[in-house]
Amino acid sequence: MKDLQLIRPSELCDILSISIATLYRWEAQGKLPIKKVKLGPGAVGFKKSDVEAWIEESTDSD
């Protein structure tokens, strides 16, 4: 199986230059087109490949 690389919410916030509150608000409003992966009780991450694809798609549309 291919290694699954995950980005934690705090890392994603650093990449996007947003606060953790904004990240979760975007998720609640459906503005975050990437799904989180549950890692355990109270722990989530995002697939790095999904994050990279979303960023690439977002920058292409500008």
Residue 1 lies inside a defined structural domain of this protein:
no
Q: Is the pLDDT of residue 62 over 60?
A: no
Q: What is the CATH number of the domain that holds 27?
A: 1.10.1660
Residue 28 lies inside a defined structural domain of this protein:
yes
Domains in the chain, number: 1
Q: 47 by DSSP, 3-state: which?
A: strand
Sheet holding 36-40, edge to edge: 6-7, 43-47, 36-40
Distance of CA 41 to the CA centre of its chain: 18
pLDDT at 58: 85
Q: Is the pLDDT of residue 61 over 90?
A: no
pLDDT at 52: 93
3: phi then psi, degrees, rounded to nearest 5? -60, 130
Q: Domain span at residue 50?
A: 6-60
Tell me: the pLDDT tens digits for 12-52?
A: 999 999 999 999 999 999 999 999 999 999 999 999 999 99
Q: Say what the pTM is.
A: 0.81
Residue 13 lies inside a defined structural domain of this protein:
yes
Residue 33 lies inside a defined structural domain of this protein:
yes
